[in-house]
A and B are shown apart, each in its own frame.
Chain A
Amino acid sequence: MSAAIAPAGGSKYDLSFARWVYQNIDGGDRISLCMQCGMCSGSCPIGTAMDHGPRKLFMLIRAGMKEAVLTSDTIWNCTQCYNCVVRCPRQIPVTNILQGLATVAVREGYAPQQPTAKFSKAFWLSVKRFGRTDERLVTALYYFSYGLKEGVRRGLDNLPIAWRMVKAKRMHLGLPHRAKGAADLRAIIAKAEEIEARERAEG
């Protein structure tokens, strides 16, 4: 049964969280097929930076351990290389599921400090505002999401790279490029957000 907020399990292997994930995460229904072979976790380029890896994350979902799942850094360290997706013997769309879990984690407030979440926020702002991404703008927004001082520090750290990009005429210096129909796009996004919210509320 769907719910606006994913249900937290009571005891181990309380299946309410697992069933919510199966039904509400894009591709989540295939998690049921996972046979815990480890192919996905073994394929992660930065698997060593993950606390659980996708394989164990799926077992935690089955075990109803919502908190452990949504606070896991596994979600955030996916580089989207899609190795696991093409190798999974049960054809589970691992990357998409991790993306879906990331959205839930952000929405439910489990991941305020995640770099990816901050970066995504900056990125999405640019998309919504201009219809296109301006790398310069996104990067700046991202850096300053850590506060003014940290933002300046990171900006300075990356100045040499930025300078070279400018020199190679690959960093745009004028106003951000924009799609003329950015307003249309915003309307579409707003409608899509509305649909998702409605669906969550309907359950």
Chain B
Amino acid sequence: MQAKKAGVYLCGGCGIAEAVSLDALEAVAVKEFKVAHCRRHEFLCGEDGVRAIRGDVAAGTVNQVVVAACSPRVNADRFQAEGAQVFRANLREQVAWTQPPGAENTAILAADYLRIAIAEAQKSSPPTAHHEGPHSARILVVGAGISGLTAARAAARAGYHVLLVEQSGEIGGHARRWSKRMPQKPPYQAPQDNDIDRLIAMVEADPRIEVRRNCRVVKTAGGPGQFTVTLRQDADEPECLIGAIVLATGWRPYDPEKLGHLGYGASPDVVTSLALEDMLAARSLKRKSDGRPARTIAFVQCAGSRDPNHLPYCSSVCCGVSIKQALQIREADPDSSVYVIYEELRTPGVAEEFYRAAQRAGVIFIKGGVKRVGADLTVTMDDALLGEEIALAGLDLIVLATGMVPNAAGIAGAGEEPSPLPEADIDPLAPIAVAGCTGAVPAPRPPATQIIVAGTPLLNLQYRQGPHLPILADGFADSHFICFPYETRRSGIYTCGPLRRPMDMAEAAEDATGAALKAIQAIRNAAEGRGLHPRAGDLSYPKIGLNTCTKCRRCTVECPFGAIDETPDGFPIVNPTRCRRCGTCMGACPVRTISFDNYSVEMLTAMIKAVEIPEEDDKPRVLVLACQSDAYPAFDMAGIARSPMNAFVRTIAVRCLGSVNLLCISEALSCGYDGILLMGCKSGDDYQCHFVKGSAIAQERLSKVGETLKSMALESERVQSVEVSIADGGRLPKILDDYLAVIERIGPSPLKGFG
């Protein structure tokens, strides 16, 4: 490895030179740290400044650039220099813009931030990308319904080879049953021809797509670019090397047998939407009971959906499906009478046209709740708009608009033991926050029904975290982030279609195309050893020193992405292409033997210790370890707003609070910090951590700090965690002042001066 040659570049612009003495800072670099190369500039991000930096790097004088200027969140592109690592000391947003110029404490703060940055450089090496093992660019698509077919075709059209496996003997999924589909084209008023056959034909004719019917995945190991997938087709169990996986296992209709209260089973003429679809496809709308033509027909919406005892969610497509079927019935038989009984009519977007088309065609929409359905096909309901209970009699057919159940687990096949699904991660009905309420608004909780039957794991992942994909809530596959709906906790595996949320064919096709893009992207990045979202492009990955590893398994258990497996003899083994580079493993390791080239417990400790801890009682020091994505930007926001900030706080950005090792905390305490705040994202049901569990894990670890504090004779207040979002810049000064008040109350750390 090349010798580290650090250069410190001090910027005096944007008020820094007015706030602090650059001479003093230069002295820190040159005298304290013996940095050979220290330059000053009054406008470092300008052409001259940038040229100077790049010149030094090109000349080989410097290969570690320490920029003491603005926040790392700005000008990252300017300070990039080919062949050098860049480190930033934030003297602008967090010093010049938030501290009184010329004050002693301001000068000390700036010096400390420079020390932290130089210490970081000293402990950091340029990361080298992971390039080991085989690589495949082939995409596995599981499930050949509209989503799977679309994903396969979309990837193939972009030049990628696809293996499309379908459990059943036929491809096309539910889409093959639809006589017509909902309109996608203006004026959005008439049912449209079902073009699934065209898609099937294109997939079958595509030389890049290999279709396997009666085939299922029995085992999946590895990671992006190098999944090893074992299939079972007939008696064969071929093993394939796969680059990325698109899961398109779709949905199944809610079991109508559970809808006895809506008359299912009482008469053969109470049918489901799908059964009606078969009649429409056969162009024969006849009653099962007596073969008479069905001319007076009622649709019962939300049959199972939006019902805490059945499917708590809205199945989204049923309104549109019933409208489509009602229009088909009206068109085929102008003397028919068609009713749609609904509670909330949901035709979002341009589908409102479809609703109006049905009204125009004479379909009668009745708002209200169905109380019972008799065997004589009389529907008794509360008619909400007439304001009375009515009996809708004389019906020939009742159609239950049954909802969608996601296929987040496979159906148990021969020889496989169903394994229970993981618990859903979040409670979608957690009460909202109300001012003044310490608890919460009392919310009626639904009975805890397990709506998803246990099934075989779809991919049967050979991961330490278990064979299933995580389930978010209500049986739907993990898709928690609003901005990043494709991100799952299993890298390189993307779900699409009704597996993620109820959606119609057009939406599923769109969703599948997006999932195919994500799969291609995962493959291309894995090939280059680059990390995926949210640290996209990061070349670093965790390296484990197996000689000191105690096989405690904390890293394998805590990794939110299941990136670390265990060898048969219990050692952890990292799958770098699965890793998202959050550092949670590094935070978990009790013997600090997990580190990245450019991020380690040793580095954080060095940064923490780089701060000078004064012995005076009136100069407390509080360490803030702030999540790089949310809390740290919040500090910048306070800086941009020029909010005065407490000068006794030293902020260090961490990749994720999950990466904070308790050893960092104890080191900080022993070197005399008076208090430590861990600032991370919101945890809980609406968690905002981009690494899923970072702040939750940090809080859990902190709960165990008590003993340590006690053994060091320290108060529990000395280490606390706070949830801070990026929008909390305005709240930050008060949070810090309040905490400093706590420190003042409990007094300075007794360990001061021993560090």
Q: Report if A and B associate in a common complex.
A: yes
A15 touches B337 (CB 8 A): yes
Task: Identify 9 new A-B residue pairs, CB closer than 8 A, beyond the known A12-B392, A19-B362, A62-B364.
Answer: A11-B391, A12-B383, A12-B391, A32-B362, A33-B360, A35-B355, A59-B386, A60-B386, A63-B386
Q: Does B232 have its Cβ within 8 Å of any Cβ on chain A? A: no
B356 touches A33 (CB 8 A): yes
Q: Return A127 CB to nearest CB of chain B, in Å.
A: 37
Q: Does A36 have its Cβ within 8 Å of any Cβ on chain B? A: yes
- Mark out the residues of chain B between 296 and 343 whose CB falls within 8 Å of any chain A CB in the assembled complex: 337, 339
Q: Which residues of B contact A14 (CB under 8 A)?
A: 394
**In the complex, A144 Cα to B561 Cα: how many Å?**
89
**In the complex, A33 Cα to B356 Cα: how many Å?**
6
B391 touches A32 (CB 8 A): no
Q: Return A154 CB to nearest CB of chain B, in Å.
A: 37
Q: Does A13 have its Cβ within 8 Å of any Cβ on chain B? A: yes
Q: Which residues of A contact B337 (CB under 8 A)?
A: 13, 15
Task: Provide a sorted-by-A list of 22 A–B residue pairs whose CB atoms are within 8 angstroms.
Answer: A11-B393, A12-B383, A12-B393, A13-B337, A13-B339, A13-B392, A15-B337, A15-B362, A15-B364, A32-B362, A33-B359, A35-B345, A35-B359, A35-B365, A56-B385, A56-B386, A59-B385, A59-B386, A62-B364, A63-B386, A63-B390, A90-B356
A13 touches B362 (CB 8 A): no
**In the complex, A56 Cα to B384 Cα: how many Å?**
11
Q: Return B394 CB to nearest CB of chain A, in Å.
A: 6
Neighbour of B364 across the interface among A11, A13, A60, CB < 8 A? A13
- Mark out the residues of chain B between 358 and 400 whose CB falls within 8 Å of any chain A CB in the assembled complex: 359-360, 362, 364-367, 383, 385-386, 390-394
Q: Mark B387-417, 1 if CB is under 8 A from A, else 0.
A: 0001111100000000000000000000000
Q: Mark A1-26, 1 if CB is under 8 A from B, else 0.
A: 00000000001111100110010000
Q: Mark A26-45, 1 if CB is under 8 A from B, else 0.
A: 00000011111000000000
Closest to A12 in B: B390
* Total contacting residues, chain B, CB less than 8 A: 20
Query: Nearest 4 CB-CB pairs, A to B?
Result: A12-B390, A59-B385, A33-B359, A32-B359
Q: Which residues of B contact A19 (CB under 8 A)?
A: 362
Q: Which residues of A contact B355 (CB under 8 A)?
A: 35
**In the complex, A19 Cα to B362 Cα: how many Å?**
9
Q: Return B616 CB to nearest CB of chain A, in Å.
A: 70
Closest to A1 in B: B335
Q: Which residues of B contact A36 (CB under 8 A)?
A: 367, 385
Q: Return B14 CB to nearest CB of chain A, in Å.
A: 54
Q: Return B198 CB to nearest CB of chain A, in Å.
A: 34
Q: Which residues of A contact B392 (CB under 8 A)?
A: 12-13
**In the complex, A33 Cα to B359 Cα: how many Å?**
5
Q: Which residues of B contact A12 (CB under 8 A)?
A: 383, 390-393
Closest to A10 in B: B394
**In the complex, A167 Cα to B294 Cα: how many Å?**
72
Q: Which residues of B contact A62 (CB under 8 A)?
A: 364
Q: Return B327 CB to nearest CB of chain A, in Å.
A: 13
Closest to B394 in A: A11
Closest to B395 in A: A13
Q: Return B499 CB to nearest CB of chain A, in Å.
A: 33
Residues of chain B at the chain A interface (Cβ within 8 Å): 337, 339, 345, 355-356, 359-360, 362, 364-367, 383, 385-386, 390-394
Closest to B339 in A: A13
Q: Return B363 CB to nearest CB of chain A, in Å.
A: 8
Q: Which residues of B contact A60 (CB under 8 A)?
A: 386
Q: Which residues of B contact A56 (CB under 8 A)?
A: 385-386
**In the complex, A103 Cα to B593 Cα: how many Å?**
91
**In the complex, A90 Cα to B357 Cα: how many Å?**
12
Q: Which residues of A contact B365 (CB under 8 A)?
A: 35
Q: Return A15 CB to nearest CB of chain B, in Å.
A: 5
Q: Which residues of A contact B360 (CB under 8 A)?
A: 32-33
Most B-side CB within 10 Å, residue of A12, A13, A22: A13
Q: Return B145 CB to nearest CB of chain A, in Å.
A: 33
Q: Which residues of A contact B364 (CB under 8 A)?
A: 13, 15, 18, 62
**In the complex, A63 Cα to B393 Cα: how many Å?**
12
Closest to A19 in B: B362
**In the complex, A23 Cα to B122 Cα: how many Å?**
87
Q: Which residues of B contact A35 (CB under 8 A)?
A: 345, 355, 359, 365
**In the complex, A43 Cα to B339 Cα: how many Å?**
29
Q: Return A19 CB to nearest CB of chain B, in Å.
A: 7
Closest to A55 in B: B385
Q: Return B630 CB to nearest CB of chain A, in Å.
A: 42
**In the complex, A61 Cα to B359 Cα: how many Å?**
14
Q: Return B331 CB to nearest CB of chain A, in Å.
A: 15
Q: Return B374 CB to nearest CB of chain A, in Å.
A: 14
**In the complex, A14 Cα to B365 Cα: how many Å?**
13
**In the complex, A162 Cα to B51 Cα: how many Å?**
96
- Mark out the residues of chain A between 37 and 83 whose CB falls within 8 Å of any chain B CB in the assembled complex: 56, 59-60, 62-63
**In the complex, A62 Cα to B367 Cα: how many Å?**
12
Q: Return B372 CB to nearest CB of chain A, in Å.
A: 16
Q: Which residues of A contact B394 (CB under 8 A)?
A: 11, 14
Q: Which residues of B contact A34 (CB under 8 A)?
A: 359
B359 touches A13 (CB 8 A): no
Q: Which residues of B contact A11 (CB under 8 A)?
A: 391, 393-394
Q: Which residues of A contact B393 (CB under 8 A)?
A: 11-12
**In the complex, A60 Cα to B385 Cα: how many Å?**
9
Most B-side CB within 10 Å, residue of A34, A56, A59, A60: A59
Q: Which residues of B contact A32 (CB under 8 A)?
A: 359-360, 362
Q: Return A57 CB to nearest CB of chain B, in Å.
A: 11
**In the complex, A12 Cα to B392 Cα: how many Å?**
6
B366 touches A13 (CB 8 A): yes
Q: Which residues of A contact B390 (CB under 8 A)?
A: 12-13, 63
**In the complex, A33 Cα to B364 Cα: how many Å?**
10
Q: Return A113 CB to nearest CB of chain B, in Å.
A: 26
Closest to B356 in A: A33
Most A-side CB within 10 Å, residue of B362, B366, B385, B393: B385
Q: Return A188 CB to nearest CB of chain B, in Å.
A: 34
**In the complex, A140 Cα to B282 Cα: how many Å?**
69
Q: Which residues of A contact B385 (CB under 8 A)?
A: 36, 56, 59
**In the complex, A59 Cα to B364 Cα: how many Å?**
10
Q: Return B350 CB to nearest CB of chain A, in Å.
A: 16
**In the complex, A33 Cα to B357 Cα: how many Å?**
9
**In the complex, A60 Cα to B337 Cα: how many Å?**
16
**In the complex, A19 Cα to B386 Cα: how many Å?**
19
Closest to B336 in A: A15
Q: Which residues of A contact B383 (CB under 8 A)?
A: 12, 63
Q: Which residues of A contact B339 (CB under 8 A)?
A: 13
Most B-side CB within 10 Å, residue of A12, A18, A62: A12
Q: Which residues of A contact B391 (CB under 8 A)?
A: 11-12
Q: Which residues of B contact A59 (CB under 8 A)?
A: 385-386
Q: Which residues of A contact B345 (CB under 8 A)?
A: 35
Closest to B387 in A: A56
**In the complex, A12 Cα to B386 Cα: how many Å?**
11
**In the complex, A11 Cα to B383 Cα: how many Å?**
14
**In the complex, A90 Cα to B356 Cα: how many Å?**
9
**In the complex, A49 Cα to B360 Cα: how many Å?**
31
Closest to A64 in B: B364
Closest to B337 in A: A15
Closest to B364 in A: A62
Closest to B384 in A: A36
Q: Return B484 CB to nearest CB of chain A, in Å.
A: 36
**In the complex, A35 Cα to B366 Cα: how many Å?**
10
**In the complex, A130 Cα to B672 Cα: how many Å?**
108
**In the complex, A131 Cα to B364 Cα: how many Å?**
44
**In the complex, A22 Cα to B223 Cα: how many Å?**
64
Closest to A56 in B: B385
**In the complex, A192 Cα to B367 Cα: how many Å?**
41
Most A-side CB within 10 Å, residue of B339, B345, B386, B391: B386
Closest to A38 in B: B385
**In the complex, A143 Cα to B127 Cα: how many Å?**
100
Closest to B352 in A: A35
**In the complex, A11 Cα to B298 Cα: how many Å?**
15
Q: Return B398 CB to nearest CB of chain A, in Å.
A: 14
